[in-house]
């Protein structure tokens, strides 16, 4: 009797958990990339491999980025040359500069997902961030090889660093929106990837929107 009574209640309690967006991360590069996702964790993706996972409805501040030059031991501890996430494969925080960052918030008040690519933490691997459901088709791509012409002062092993991390001055780190302007470095990032954020408090033209709970695909080396 108890089981019969509790089963419907259990199902009702589980139904809201089913609301989620599926993220598919595909490595189209000719080299290995270690995907990092917060929430989500992380995984090694050899060329041609992909990874699918669910993100709960209402997630804000979500992020996915590529890591390169990683070595992890059998318990998933180690280090990456770019995008390192606290020295662990199964990432829970944010990544070290440089990394090409995708950001999203799902099903915000008003029922929309918002998503973007940001070069505010520099660049390591080209990527695209596209919706794949709900009839939504438009998303950003940063496919240029930003490393190739990276200004000498920003060049770091494996990528093109961001000027805040490298110089640490208010001009680049932007403690407040009112004193935050484009710089020669942010203009370089913008010229390479016009659909991406290029400095803190960049204008919102790089923000894309879809109906809530759309599914997404991120491709490394699109």
Ligand X SMILES: *[C@@H]1O[C@H](CO)[C@@H](O)[C@H](O)[C@H]1NC(C)=O
Q: Which is nearer to ligand X, 20 or 90 (CB)?
A: 90
Strand, coil or helix: 163: helix
Query: How many Cα atoms sit within 13 Å of 164 on the Cβ side?
Result: 20
Q: Rounded to the nearest whole angstrom, what is the least distance from the CB of residue 112 to ligand X in the complex? A: 25
Which token pair is 144? Answer: 């240029």
Q: Which is nearer to ligand X, 129 or 172 (CB)?
A: 129
Q: Rounded to the nearest whole angstrom, what is the least distance from the CB of residue 126 to ligand X in the complex? A: 10
For residue 160, which of 109, 115, 120 has the smallest C-alpha distance? 120
Q: Rounded to the nearest whole angstrom, what is the least distance from the CB of residue 163 to ligand X in the complex? A: 29
Q: Which is nearer to ligand X, 200 or 222 (CB)?
A: 222
Residues binding ligand X (CB under 6 A): 28, 73-75, 77, 219, 221-222
Q: Which is nearer to ligand X, 5 or 74 (CB)?
A: 74
Q: Which is nearer to ligand X, 36 or 154 (CB)?
A: 36
Four-point Cα dihedral 187, 222, 36, 82, nearest 10: -50
Give yes or no for a contact between 39 and 93, defined as CB atoms under 8 angstroms apart: no
Q: How far apart are CA 141 and CA 116, in angstroms?
A: 9
Q: Rounded to the nearest whole angstrom, what is the least distance from the CB of residue 220 to ligand X in the complex? A: 9
Q: Rounded to the nearest whole angstrom, what is the least distance from the CB of residue 95 to ligand X in the complex? A: 18
Report strand pairing: 20-27 vs 216-220. parallel
* Residues constituting the chain: 222
Nearest residue to ligand X, using CB?
77
């Amino acid at each position: 009797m108890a089981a019969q009574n509790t089963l419907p209640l259990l199902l009702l309690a589980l139904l809201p958990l089913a609301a989620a967006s599926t993220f598919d991360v595909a490595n189209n590069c000719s080299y290995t990339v270690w995907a990092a996702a917060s929430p989500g964790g992380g995984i090694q993706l050899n060329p041609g491999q992909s990874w699918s996972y669910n993100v709960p409805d209402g997630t804000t501040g979500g992020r996915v980025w590529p890591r390169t030059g990683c070595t992890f031991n059998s318990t998933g501890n180690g280090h990456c040359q770019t995008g390192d996430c606290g020295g662990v494969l199964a990432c829970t925080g944010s990544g070290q500069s440089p990394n090409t960052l995708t950001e999203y918030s799902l099903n915000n008040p008003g029922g929309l997902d918002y998503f973007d690519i940001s070069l505010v933490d520099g660049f390591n691997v080209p990527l695209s961030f596209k919706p794949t459901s709900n009839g939504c088709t438009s998303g950003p791509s940063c496919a240029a090889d930003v490393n190739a012409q990276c200004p000498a002062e920003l060049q770091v092993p494996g990528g093109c660093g961001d000027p805040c991390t490298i110089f640490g001055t208010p001009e680049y780190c932007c403690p407040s929106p009112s004193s935050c302007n484009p710089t020669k470095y942010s203009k370089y990032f913008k010229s390479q990837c016009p659909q991406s954020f290029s400095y803190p408090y960049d204008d919102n033209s790089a923000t894309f929107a879809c109906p809530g709970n759309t599914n997404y695909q991120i491709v490394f080396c699109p």
